[in-house]
Structure formats: structure tokens, C-alpha cells
Amino acid sequence: MTQTVASSLPALLNSLTQSLTSSFEATPKLSTLGTTNGISLLDVKNELLLSYLQNLVFLILLKTRTAKSSSASRTGQRPVTELNDAVVKKLVELRLYLEKGVRPLEDKLRYQIEKVLRAVDDAERQEKAEAAAGAATVKGGKRSEADSNSTSGSDDDNSGDDDDDDDADEAPGPKIADLQYRPNPAAFVRPPGADDDNSSGSGKRSSKDGIYRPPKIAPTSMPTAERRDRAADRRGGKQLRSATMDEFVNDELSAAPVAQPSIGTNIAGRGRHVKTAAERRDEAERQAYEETHFVRLQEGKKERARKEKLAAAAGRMNFGGEEWRGLGEGVDRINRLVKSKDGTGGSGGRTKALLDKSRKRALETTDGPRGSGVASVDIGERYQKRLKVQELGRTSRGKKR
């Protein structure tokens, strides 16, 4: 290992010597650079690389001296060790500047730098091409003058070529302006008419005072089950019956999975009333609010009155745990059909006459279970009459004896 290091040290020292020599030659040129607007990134990069090389050479020098003086005392090695640590720390600092500071900035400016370098190369290439073309035209002009003495027909052609070449020589070459490829800050500024165009395109013009005013749009909301329940409570029993029918259809005829309440939790009124889905939902919301906020919600007067009204409307047709609301509806329907608008005559009178006639009509059917039941009533009356006649006959026979 020691032999390998010893053999590689001369080559390393030669390369470092050459790099330092070239840096010393370039040092006088740095004083001519203008730093009025600050140091450029490339100059900073060169300075950091030069400082990094100097510290690296110094570290190699310390390593070689330490290897030569391996037989020295510990007191002599302590200053060398401290100096070695300081150099390593400086190298780490410079490497951090290069990796985290210079490289990201160089990556961001790489496009602009390459664009400027490409423009410079194009300008140099064009200048060389123009110089070569000018030399060729000069040689062609001399040859045309020599040929003009012998031929007269080619004078016009040569003169035309000379004029074109002179125009090409007089045309100035492209010049690179200062800061031509810098970013354009004006591109980030919104033009003054952009806001007006956007507002006119959307149909809304902003006010002249510059205050933002949101567009006036009529708010709309989709109908929900709660709205339907409230409307049903306000309108009365007819809507309640439709809500009951909807609940029955959803529970019995729907194939969708439904979460059923626990047994007994939906029974109210001592078993005479079953809570609807809306009532269970309101009760669950009330319970969740009370458990979340640790408060007991008091029932207001309006809520209590509404519940009492609903209970009274529903309790009128409840008897014995059964619902009798549909019983009176059939009778009311018959009365509406047989009653005319003015109370007499009209289509209602004719309907009533037909109804009375049908009631007085004698039915000849004897099929009791499948008929209307009138025949069975007549049979009972005849049986009672016959029974009375027989009893009277028995009593009269006894008296005669």
C-alpha cells in the first residue's frame, strides 16, 4: 500500500503544479473584470474551485509530512493533527458551497448560458463565412478583370456579381445586444385590458371602484325527506297517510337492505303506535347532539304543541289499538256521490234515485254466501213468522181442550 501511494504521489504533484501555474497566470486577468454589479456565478465557481484545490494540496502536504515524521513524539503530532482537522473542515465547507450553492444556481441558469454561448458561436461562424465569401469575391473580381480584356460579353455579368458582392460586404453582421437573453419581467405583468375582457366575456362587469362583488345567482336546493315530513305535518292527515304509505313501500316492497331498529325501540303509546322513520331519525339526531355537547335539550312550546296536534289528529281514529280512519272515508265518499251541488236534483239526484231503487229491488238469488246477503235476511224473517204461527196454533189448541 505504501509503495502504491509513493508511486502515485509524483504524478499527483505534477498535475497540481500545472494547475497552480495556470491559475497564477490567470490571476492578473481577474483584476480587469468589472464587479460593479456584483460577482458573477461563474467567477464565484472558479474562486471556490481554486480555493478547494489549494486546501487539497495543503492536506496532501500534511499527509506526506506526517508519513515522513512517523517517529516524532506525541507533542509534535498534536499541532499537525489540529491543522489537519482544520483543513478537512475547510474542504467540507467548500464542497458544501459547490454542491448546495453553485450547482443548483448553475442548473437554473444553464438554459440562458447555453443560449448565449450558442448565439456567440453562431455569430463567430457567420463572421468566418462572410470573411471567406469576401475573399472569394475578391479573387473572382480579379479573375473577371483579367477576362474582360479578352471577352466583352461577360462584362455585364461580372459587374452584376461585383455589385451583389459589394452589397453583401456592406451589410452589417448581427450584433449581440447586452442582456438580450435575460428574462423579461414585463411578461409577468397583466395587461390593463385583460380584466375588462374577462369580465365582458363572462357577462359580468366589475364596478369602477375596484371592489369585488360576487355574481348574483338564485340559490336552489334539492328537496329532502325532512322538507316533505314538515310539509306533511303542516297539511294534515292526507299527507301523513301518504308518508305512511311511502314508509310501507320502502319497508315491505323494496329489495334494498334496510337497517331495522331493535325490537321494542320503535313502539310508543303503550303498544298502540309505531314510530315512523322520520320520528326515529329526529330522536337519533337529538340523542347524538345531547351526547356530543353534554346537554339536555328542552322541548319548546311550539314543538310540544305540534306533537300534541299530531297526536290528537291521529288519536281520533284510534280505538282498541286499531286504526279506524278508513272506516268513515267510505261513508263520506257515498254521501258525496249521492249529493248534488245544490242539495236537490242534478246528477246527484239521479244517483240517489238509482241507489234507492237498488235498495228496494227484490233479489231472487238464494246464494247467500256468494250474494249480497239480502236473501238470507228474507229467509230469517219468514222463519220467524212461521215460528210465531206455530206458537199461536199450539196455544189455541190448548184453549179449545
DSSP state letters, 209-241: T---------------HHHHHHHHHHH-HHHHH
pLDDT in tens, 337-347: 666 555 554 55
Pick the more confident residue, 61 or 228: 61
* Of residues 288, 294, 280, the one with CA closest to residue 247: 280
Residue 295, Ramachandran bin (φ over 0: left; ψ between -120 and 50: alpha; else beta): beta
Rounded Cα distance between 34 and 40, Å, is 10
Q: What is the pLDDT of residue 172?
A: 47
The label of the residue with cell 284510534 reads 318
196 versus 100: the higher-pLDDT residue is 100
Query: Of the candidates 264, 284, 314, which is a domain's last residue?
Result: 314
Q: Which of 108-117, 190-199, 211-220 has the highest mean pLDDT?
A: 108-117
What is the pLDDT confidence band of residue 379, given thresholds at 50, 70 and 90?
low
Instruction: Give me the pLDDT at residue 78, please.
Output: 64
Looking at the domain assignment, is residue 243 inside a domain? no
Instruction: Please tell me whether residue 18 adopts helix, strand or coil conformation.
Output: helix
Q: Is residue 139 domain-resident?
A: no
| Domain that includes residue 91, residue range | 2-30+39-108
**pLDDT recorded at residue 3:** 63
Question: Residue 289: what pLDDT?
Answer: 92
**Res 240: pLDDT:** 47
| pLDDT value at 333 more than 70 | no
Lowest mean pLDDT of 89-98, 259-268, 283-292, name the range.
Answer: 259-268
Non-local CB neighbours of 261 within 8 Å, separated by 6+ positions: 280
For residue 246, being part of any structural domain is answered with no
Residue 390 reports pLDDT greater than 60? yes
Out of 38-52, 159-173, 355-369, 376-390, pick the least confident: 159-173
pLDDT at position 184: 73
Q: Is the pLDDT of residue 195 over 60?
A: no
Nearest-angstrom CA–CA distance, 234 and 232: 5
pLDDT band at 11 (very low <50, low <70, confident <90, very high): confident
Q: Domain boundary residue among 108, 133, 150?
A: 108
| Among candidate residues 262, 289, 314, the one where a domain is terminated | 314
pLDDT of residue 70 exceeding 70, the answer is: no
Query: How much is the mean pLDDT over the chain?
Result: 70
Look at residue 396 and tell me if it is in a domain. no
Contact 247, 276 (CB under 8 A): yes
Alpha-carbon radius of gyration of the chain: 57
| pLDDT in the model for residue 388 | 79
List the Cα angle 183/188/193 in 5-degree steps: 140
SS3 state at 322: strand
Range 62-76 average pLDDT: 68
Instruction: Provide the domain count of the chain.
Output: 2
Residue at 181 is within a domain? no
Judged against a pLDDT cut of 60, whether residue 25 lies above it is answered with: yes
Q: What local confidence, expressed as pLDDT, does residue 329 receive?
A: 60
Q: Which residues make beta-bridge pairs with 274?
A: 267
Query: Which pLDDT does position 174 carry in this prediction?
Result: 46
> Does some domain include residue 159?
no
The DSSP secondary-structure symbol of 186 reads G
263 φ/ψ sector (left φ>0, alpha ψ -120 to 50, else beta): beta
Write out pLDDT tens, residues 231-269: 666 665 454 456 667 777 777 777 878 777 788 777 877
Which pLDDT band holds residue 190 (cuts at 50, 70, 90)? confident
- Answer whether residue 130 is part of any domain: no
- How far apart are the C-alpha atoms of 284 and 261, rounded to whole Å? 11
pTM above 0.75, yes or no: no
Report the chain's terminal Cα–Cα distance, integer Å: 164
In a domain, 259, yes or no: no
